Amino acid sequence: MTLRIFNTLTREVEPFVSLEPGHVRMYVCGMTIYDLCHVGHARFLLAFDVVYRWLRASGWRVTYVRNITDIDDKIIRRALERGIPIRQLTDEMTAAMHEDIGRLGIAAPTHEPRATAYVPQMLTMIGTLERKGLAYRAAGGDVNYAVRKFPGYGRLSGKSIDQLRAGERVAVADGKDDPLDFVLWKAAKPDEPPDAQWDGPYGPGRPGWHIECSAMGCALLGETFDVHGGGMDLQFPHHENEIAQSEGANGVPFVRYWMHNGFLNVDDTKMSKSLGNFFTIRDVLQRYDGETLRFFMLRTHYRSPLNFSDANLDDARSGLRRLYTALASVDVDADAAAAAAADADDAASAPAVAFRAAMDEDFNTPAAIAVLFELAAELNRSGDAQAARLLRRLGEPLGLLQQPARAFLQGGAAAGDDGRIEARIAERAAAKAARDFARADAIRRELLADGIVLQDGPDGTRWVKA
C-alpha cells in the first residue's frame, strides 16, 4: 500500500513521497496562547496527532513542529487586562494547554517553538523580502508585504488577485499600497507595554502573525519541507501569506503537501461565545473522559465538518465502551509467549490489511474504526486472545484502546467506590448462597440505580459503569 494524502494545493488525493527517503518533515500551526483551548482546537490537534502517529507506525522518521504563538494583539490585550507580564500569561496558558491536551492523549511534537524565540530569524526574512522588492516600509513604521508583486498569489485558496480584491471588505489602511498587503513588522504603539516590543532595523515593534510561521518552519525544517497542516480557516490568508513570504524570500517551493481539517460546529451551529455554545476542552472533560472525546472526533474524517453535541458524545462513549467490553472478555496479557508468536501473523491478517488500507487513504479514521468494530464482533464470538491483541494493536496509532479494559469500564467511580461496590457484590453472593434470591436481585437493582452494572461469569461477578 502507498500512503495517499489530499493536497489542498492541488485539490487532489496524491501519493505521498517525502523529500528525504524515510523522513517526513511536518509543520502544524499551533495555538495563539492567551486563553484555555476550546473544542475547535482539540479538533485540529487530534487530526494531526493521528497523522503523526500513523506516519511513525508506518515506519517513517518524523520531525514534527507545532508552534506556539506567544506574541499577538489578543495576548497583549489579555495581559494588560490582567495586569501581568506577557510571559507570565503565556507560560500559564501553555501549561494549561499541555495539561488539557495531555488528557486527550495528544503526543508531544518533536519541536514546540515559541514565536518570541525566533524574532531574529523573522527580521532576517523581512530584510530579504525588502531587498527583493517584495516588502516596503509604510508611514508610521510598519513593514508590509506587497502581495501583487508575488506571482501566483492565491494558488492555495484557488482565487486570483482580482477575485480576492473583489471580496476585500477592509478599506486601505494607512500606509498600505493595497488592501491585500499584509504586515510583516508592526511598529510599537504608545499604549503597548515594553515586553511587547523588540529592537530591529525598523525601530521598536513586533512581528506580524504570518511571518512567525514562515520563519519557524524554515528554521527547523528547511526552506522546503513535506507537510504543512492547520485548520481550514487558516488556508486564507494565513497559509497563503506563508507561501508568499517563504517562497518570495527563499526562491524555492515552500511546502509539498498542504493539509487542512474541517470546521467544528456545535449542534449544527458555529461555536460562538455570544451564542452560548462555546466549550473549552476543560468544560467537556468535566463530563466525558479524554479518550471518549478523542474517539468521538476520530469517527469523522479530518477533512469533513464535525458536529459537536451531547447526543453525539454519548453515542461515542457507548461505542468506545463496546470495544473495551470486547477486550475485557479476554485476558490478553496472560500468555506473553503466544503474543510474541502471533505478532508476525497480525500484519498479514485481513483486519490489519483493511485497517492499513483505510489509514493509507488520506487517514480515513472512520473506515479504520469500522475495522475495529468488526474485529470486536469477532472477538465477542470467538474469545480469541490473538484477536484481542490485534484490536489493541490497531487502536494504538489512533490513540485508542490502550487502557486496561476493566479500568476503563469502571472509570468515573468516586474515590472509595471500589470497596463499597465489592462489598455489595460479596453481600449479593452471600444472599445467593443462602438462596435469598429476592435480596440478591434487590442488590443488583440498587447498584444499577447508582450506575453500576453487574456481570456474572464463570470467574465470579465483575462490575462496570453503566
Q: What is the mean pLDDT of each run of 10 residues along the chain (466 residues)?
A: 94 97 97 96 97 98 98 96 97 97 96 98 98 95 96 92 61 74 95 94 95 98 98 95 98 98 91 84 95 98 96 96 94 52 72 97 98 96 95 97 92 58 75 79 78 74 72
Give me the CATH number covering residue 346: 1.20.120.640
Q: What are phi and psi of 230, to 5 degrees?
A: 165, 180
DSSP, res 223: S
Question: Of the candidates 408, 434, 451, which is a domain's last residue?
Answer: 408
Question: Of the candidates 227, 261, 295, which is a domain's last residue?
Answer: 261
Would you say residue 276 lies in a domain?
Answer: no
Q: Please report the pLDDT score of residue 403 as a whole number.
A: 94
Angle between the N-to-C axes of helices 310-328 and 290-298, in degrees from 0 to 180, rounded to the nearest 10: 100
User: In the sheet that 264-266 helps form, which strands lie side by side, from edge to edge?
Assistant: 269-270, 264-266, 306-308
431 plus 404 within the same structural domain = no
Q: Are 187 and 140 in contact (CB under 8 A)?
A: yes
190 plus 158 within the same structural domain = yes
Would you say residue 298 lies in a domain?
Answer: no
The rounded distance, in Å, linking the Cα atoms of 219 and 238 is 18
Give me the CATH number covering residue 206: 3.40.50.620
Q: Please report the pLDDT score of residue 446 as a whole number.
A: 75
317 plus 225 within the same structural domain = no
- 273 belongs to an annotated ligand binding site: yes
Q: Please report the pLDDT score of residue 433 as a whole number.
A: 75
Q: Please report the pLDDT score of residue 348 as a whole number.
A: 87
Q: Are 214 and 125 in contact (CB under 8 A)?
A: yes
112 plus 191 within the same structural domain = yes
The count of structural domains within the chain is: 3
- 378 belongs to an annotated ligand binding site: no
- 213 belongs to an annotated ligand binding site: yes
Q: Please report the pLDDT score of residue 450 as a whole number.
A: 65
Q: Please report the pLDDT score of residue 416 as a whole number.
A: 53
Q: Are 16 and 28 in contact (CB under 8 A)?
A: no
Instruction: With 0.75 as the threshold, say if the pTM is over it.
Output: yes
- 432 belongs to an annotated ligand binding site: no
205 plus 330 within the same structural domain = no
- 218 belongs to an annotated ligand binding site: no
Q: Please report the pLDDT score of residue 456 as a whole number.
A: 82
Amino acid at 102: G
Q: Please report the pLDDT score of residue 268 as a whole number.
A: 86
Would you say residue 461 lies in a domain?
Answer: yes
Instruction: Quote the domain boundaries for residue 132.
Output: 4-261
112 plus 193 within the same structural domain = yes
246 plus 121 within the same structural domain = yes
Amino acid at 445: R
